[in-house]
C-alpha cells in the first residue's frame, strides 16, 4: 500500500489524459482545438504540482536548518567530561591503550609495583609503554617501601623488554599520599592526560599479596586537575630520597 501511494499520480493522470487525447484525435473524435485546451490544462496541473513541491521542499529545508541550529547550540553548550571512570572490565584495555597513545616523557607516580608480579599484567600495563617508540623516557616516582619489589620483580622483567634503557632509575621518596597516577602527553592533542587511582578499597583490590587497581579515572587533557596532579608528582620527584 505504501508503494502504491508513493506513485506520482499527478504525472500518471497527466500521461493518461495526454495519451487518451492523442488517441481520440487520431480517431477523429476530437478536434485539434480540444487537444490544445487539454494540453494547456495538463501544463497548468503540472505547474501547480511543481509549486506545491517547491513549497514542501522549502518547509523541509527550513526545518532542517532549524534542527541544525538547535543541535549546534546544544553541542556548544555541552562540555566534555573532565574525567572518565574506567571499571574492571575495561581497565586493562584502557591502560594498554593509554600506554600506546603516550609520547614524550611518561611518569608513573606512586603506583603499586606488586601488580607487576604476574608476567601477564606486566606485559599488558608496562611493556606497551616501554616499547612505544613515541615515548622518550619513563620515570617512576615511588615510595621507598617499593624498592625491594622494584629490584626483584620489575628489573628482571625489564631485561627482556626492547628499549628498556628508556626506563630511568626511580626517584625514591617518602610518599604520604593515597593517590597514584600515570601521566603522559598523548598523540591526539599533544596535551597531558592521566590515569588516576586511589590506594585502598574500592579503587584498589588486595589479592594474593598484591594491590591491583580496580577503578581508575581517565583525566582528560582539558581538565584543571592535570596541573594539580603534575605539581604533586613534581614535589615528590624533587624531594630528597
pLDDT tens digits for range 83-108: 888 888 888 888 888 988 899 999 99
pLDDT the model gives residue 166? 93
| Residue 77 in this model has a pLDDT that exceeds 90 | no
Domain membership of residue 126 as a residue range:
83-237
Alpha carbons 122 and 153: distance in angstroms, whole number: 10
Residue 208's pLDDT band (boundaries 50, 70, 90)?
Answer: low
CA distances (Å), 74 to each of 49, 60, 77, 80, 84, in order? Answer: 37, 21, 5, 13, 21
Of all helices (H) and strands (E), which one includes residue 174?
Answer: none
Please say whether the beta carbons of 225 and 83 come within 8 A: yes
Q: Are residues 110 and 228 in the same domain?
A: yes
| Domain co-membership, 66 together with 89 | no
Of the candidates 166, 172, 88, 91, which has an alpha carbon nearest to the alpha carbon of residue 131? 166
pTM listed for this prediction:
0.66
What's the CATH number where 129 sits? Answer: 3.30.870.10
Where does a domain end: 61, 77, 93?
Answer: 77
Q: 94 and 57, same structural domain?
A: no
Say if residue 99 is in the same domain as residue 218: yes
Q: Let me know whether 37 and 153 are in one domain.
A: no
What pLDDT is stored for residue 55 in this prediction?
77
pLDDT digits (tens, 9 = 90+) for 133-172: 999 999 999 999 999 999 999 999 999 898 889 999 999 9
Domain count, the chain: 2
Q: What pLDDT sits at residue 92?
A: 84
Domain boundary among 44, 61, 77: 77
Task: Answer yes or no: do 109 and 174 share one domain.
Answer: yes
Looking at 33, 49, 77, the residue that finishes a domain is: 77
Within this chain, do residues 145 and 65 fall inside the same structural domain, yes or no?
no
Whether residue 218 is found in the same domain as residue 176: yes
Q: Note whether 68 and 157 are same-domain residues.
A: no
> Do residues 96 and 128 make contact, with C-beta atoms less than 8 angstroms apart?
yes
User: Does 126 share its domain with 11?
Assistant: no
Q: Is the bond into 202 cis (omega within 30 degrees of 0)?
A: yes
Amino acid at each position: 500500500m505504501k508503494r502504491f501511494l508513493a506513485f506520482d499520480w499527478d504525472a500518471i493522470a497527466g500521461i493518461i489524459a495526454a495519451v487518451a487525447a492523442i488517441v481520440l484525435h487520431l480517431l477523429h473524435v476530437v478536434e485539434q482545438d480540444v487537444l490544445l485546451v487539454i494540453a494547456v490544462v495538463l501544463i497548468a496541473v503540472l505547474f501547480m504540482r511543481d509549486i506545491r513541491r517547491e513549497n514542501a521542499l522549502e518547509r523541509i529545508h527550513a526545518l532542517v536548518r532549524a534542527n541544525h541550529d538547535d543541535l549546534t547550540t546544544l553541542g556548544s553548550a555541552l562540555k566534555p567530561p573532565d574525567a572518565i571512570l574506567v571499571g574492571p572490565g575495561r581497565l586493562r584495555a584502557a591502560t594498554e591503550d593509554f600506554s600506546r597513545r603516550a609520547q614524550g616523557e611518561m611518569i608513573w607516580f606512586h603506583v603499586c609495583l606488586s601488580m607487576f608480579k604476574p608476567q601477564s599484567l606486566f606485559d599488558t600495563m608496562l611493556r606497551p609503554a616501554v616499547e612505544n617508540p613515541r615515548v622518550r623516557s619513563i620515570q617512576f616516582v615511588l615510595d621507598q617501601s617499593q624498592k625491594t619489589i622494584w629490584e626483584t620483580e620489575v628489573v628482571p622483567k625489564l631485561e627482556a623488554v626492547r628499549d628498556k634503557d628508556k626506563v630511568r632509575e626511580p626517584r625514591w621518596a617518602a610518599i604520604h599520599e593515597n593517590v597514584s597516577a600515570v601521566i603522559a602527553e598523548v598523540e591526539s592533542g599533544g596535551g597531558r592526560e592521566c590515569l588516576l587511582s586511589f590506594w585502598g578499597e574500592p579503587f584498589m583490590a588486595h589479592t594474593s599479596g598484591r594491590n591491583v587497581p580496580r577503578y581508575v579515572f581517565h583525566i582528560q587533557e582539558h581538565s584543571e586537575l592535570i596541573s594539580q596532579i603534575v605539581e604533586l608528582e613534581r614535589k615528590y620527584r624533587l624531594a630528597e630520597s
